[in-house]
Structure 1
Amino acid sequence: MPFPTGSKPVKEMDSPRPKLWIYDHCPYCVRPRMVFGLKGITHDLAYLSNDDIETPTAMVGKKMVPILELGRPGSEDHEIMAESMDIVKRLDLDPQFGPPVLAPAVDRKDLDGWVSSAAMLMRRLVRPRNAVTPLAEFQTRSAREAFVRNHPLPEPSSYEANLKASPKLIEELERELWKLEGMIHSPTSVAADGKLSYNDVEFFPRMRGLTIVQGLGIPPKLRAYLDAVSERVDVPLYDKIAS
């Protein structure tokens, strides 16, 4: 694969390895990957091309990711699941995958509010860069065009215009990122006790996406958090391919 990813062969299972169908850039796909990494569950990652409609539709009835596939196709234990948080809960709570590792979510209106307010600014910086990365889901012109077509931006809508506006957008986002410094209470989680929780499962994937933005100054608490959680859950950041 053009970008290093995968799982640690820590826990062998009797049945075929769980398979997770994903896009690497997709925050929702990172959610179950975090549980795989935390639990050390040997698994396979299957990368879909961004223009592949047929494969996911055949499995779950529409184009969506992530998709978890368990058991052998054609056997009684074959199972397919969609919806990222349903997959997360299955992997975390099902005894066949070991004891639970995630702490319950707590009310974090501060984080939720920040993500909501900064969402469009992040999209303007991240989406145009996603479309030109060497990630597996963007290996063909058709796949890249499908991403641009399916992820429009409000005016100025062209990805090229938003790339040209990067210096101003980066400056704006950096100001917003500093507001997070008072909301991250541990280098290893957003909670003071350092335990990863369902809050992290929602927060880390979104922040990981920002590491694709070259030249973005990430404040120290957020940087330490991203580095620590990335290592802990075995999901690499994008610093090496940032643009």
Structure 2
Amino acid sequence: MKLYIYEHCPFCVMAKMIFVLKNYPVETVYLLYDDVQTPMHMVGRKALPVLEYKPNRFMSESIDIIHYIDQSIGEPQVTLPIVDEIAQWVKEVERFIYRLAYPRWIRAPFPEFSSDEAKKYFYKSKDPSGRGFMSDLADPALLQRAQKAIDKLENILVDYPLIDRTKPISISSLSLFSQLHSLSIIKGLNYGNIVDRWRKNTAENFFISLNDEFAN
């Protein structure tokens, strides 16, 4: 199998996690962000992740990929119900995270932005009005909103278990980590002991590095 992804994409992070959970090898392929032709050929639109699960047979949407791999390989492990409190937290974060993430992702050493053309395409696609999303880089209101979300999560995770890949896992855990992975690109956020332990433990268990080292 081949998994086509972007390094920055939270949905791609979720798709990577299912293969680690199932201990199943997959070839990871990073596309340049301005590569429109490849995903269009595979699934008829520019969207990742895309899984080539059989020769010239493709599947998009992270949830569909997770469900397919979970049901096809070994015993199902993504069996626990959605945790409403965490699902709501993720939904709230999704309302503002991209405004903070766009200007940071484009400056990070991700393979999808390794050419000037790819960066230009990202700018154009994410800022068609020309407003300039770089202005959100240091927006105090957005940064305060992100910090409040992290502080709120500290209380939510008090009784939430750390990841154990030998036990069933909720889709909420995969979704939560994908958003914490996105938040980790933002320099200066303060994580409480519970949240910091949970995100680092999950990163270690799934062999997916957080963005702390090049947060900006």
TM-score (norm 2): 0.88
Match of 2:136 among 145, 157, 162: 162
Computed over aligned residues only, the root mean square deviation of the Cα atoms, in angstroms, reads 2.2
Unaligned runs of 5+ in 1: 1-17
Larger Cα-atom Rg: 1
Residue 52 of structure 2 corresponds to residue 79 of structure 1:
no
Q: Secondary structure at 1:212's aligned position in 2?
A: coil
Match of 2:75 among 99, 117, 128: 99
* Residues in 1 aligned to 2:129 and 2:79: alpha-carbon distance in whole angstroms: 37
Residue 28 of structure 2 corresponds to residue 32 of structure 1:
no
Verify the 8 A CA contact 1:111 1:183 in the aligned structure 2: yes
Q: Secondary structure at 2:190's aligned position in 1?
A: coil
Q: Secondary structure at 1:237's aligned position in 2?
A: coil
Q: Runs ≥4 in structure 1, deviation > 6 angstroms?
A: none
Alignment of 1:45-124 (within 5 A): 45-71=28-54, 73=55, 78-94=56-72, 97-108=73-84, 110-124=85-99
Alignment of 1:199-238 (within 5 A): 199-238=172-211
* Residues in 2 aligned to 1:100 and 1:223: alpha-carbon distance in whole angstroms: 28
Alignment of 1:125-164 (within 5 A): 125-152=100-127, 157-164=131-138
User: Could you say if the C-alpha distance between residues 187 and 126 of structure 1 is closer, same or farther in structure 2, counting changes exceeding 3 Å?
Assistant: farther
Q: Secondary structure at 2:81's aligned position in 1?
A: coil
TM-score (norm 1): 0.79
Match of 1:177 among 141, 144, 150: 150
Verify the 8 A CA contact 1:187 1:228 in the aligned structure 2: no
User: Could you say if the C-alpha distance between residues 195 and 170 of structure 1 is closer, same or farther in structure 2, counting changes exceeding 3 Å?
Assistant: farther
The structural deviation recorded for 1:213 is 1.0
Verify the 8 A CA contact 1:188 1:195 in the aligned structure 2: no
* Residues in 1 aligned to 2:128 and 2:156: alpha-carbon distance in whole angstroms: 28
* Residues in 2 aligned to 1:229 and 1:103: alpha-carbon distance in whole angstroms: 18
* Residues in 2 aligned to 1:219 and 1:65: alpha-carbon distance in whole angstroms: 32
User: Could you say if the C-alpha distance between residues 118 and 199 of structure 1 is closer, same or farther in structure 2, counting changes exceeding 3 Å?
Assistant: closer
**Letter in structure 2 aligned against 1:84:** S
Give percent identity, aligned residues only.
30
